Amino acid sequence: MVDQPLEELLRDAERVLADSGVWSPREDAETLAAHVLGLRESTLEPRLPIPAAAAGELRALVARRAGRIPLGHLTGRARLGGIDVTVNEHVFVPRFPTELLLAWGLSAVEKTEAPVVVDLCTGSGAVALAVGHARPDAAVHAVDLDEAALACARGNAAARERDGDTPITVHRGDVADSALLAGLDGRVDLVLANPPYVPLGTRLLPEWGEHHPRTAVFGGADGLEVIRAVVDCAARMLRPGGALAIEHGDAQIDVVPGLLHATGQFSGTEGHHDQENRPRYTTTFRKAQA
């Protein structure tokens, strides 16, 4: 079998992916090619001759992506806050909008020495580990209730530690548990959460509707079940002046401020949009006095 130029393979892959409704066919084809070839996407050279075995591997991955399996589940990797984490089909693949929640959180504790940070609903641990990477002086706690997510987060935490980052602590816990991390009550400087927030029954793209764990995506009948628990949990854990950022769905930007207000514990609440100008997360601060 003769080697095939990379560009030819990429063109075929792009067509297959576009036909199956993948929204970024060229980018996905390049990511999969880079993964197969062990290269960075930016260094892919169109005329590079690709041996038959690698071309076959790429076609097989493209076929799976055309079946709408999430890209991260195929490459086994995702990037957030300048670090790579490992992901698998049992955990949520960190998304680009979460970069903004992370950046807001880091800026909120910029002037706090040795901040205590809690990442609720941590999944792969990406948010917590990105905080730990940016702030080696922070004490970072990551919480999830799902065993597969916890195994993934612990694996990623061990890998970051081997790369020299300060260790984080991964906890098994339910944000609805009023005793969760009770030892941190009133001591936390920053709570970050990207909880499941999609209302049950919502039709989603197959990447999320079929190929992500339901516990990572759906937040009860109105989508707010876990968000409500996050609000209560943060009200209990944060010190006066402590910061909270919650990622949520588009329509929830009008609802989450009301949930925060109802506790009587927060002020300075603001809604934020993501890189595509969609309403995506809400931030607030724990009042000095309840």
| Beta strand ranges found along the chain (DSSP E) | 4-5, 49-50, 77-80, 83-86, 116-120, 139-144, 169-172, 188-193, 238-247, 266-273, 279-286
Taking CB positions, which residue lies at the least distance from ligand SAM? 123
Strand, coil or helix: 82: coil
User: Taking a C-beta distance cutoff of 8 angstroms, is the pair 66, 207 a contact?
Assistant: no
Minimum separation from the CB atom of position 72 to ligand SAM (A): 10
CB-wise, 50 or 86, nearer to ligand SAM?
A: 86
Quote the least distance from Cβ 35 to ligand SAM, whole Å.
20
CB 267, min distance to ligand SAM, A: 25
- Of 55 and 129, the one with the shorter C-beta distance to ligand SAM is 129
Binding site for ligand SAM (CB under 6 A): 92, 94, 98, 121-124, 126-127, 143-146, 149, 174-176, 194-196, 215-216, 226, 229
Cα distance from N-terminal residue to C-terminal residue, the chain: 73
Task: Output 18 or 148, the one with its CB closest to ligand SAM.
Answer: 148
Closer of 50 and 230 to ligand SAM (Cβ): 230
The CB-of-217 to ligand SAM minimum distance in angstroms stands at: 7
Specify the residue for token string 């905080």: 131
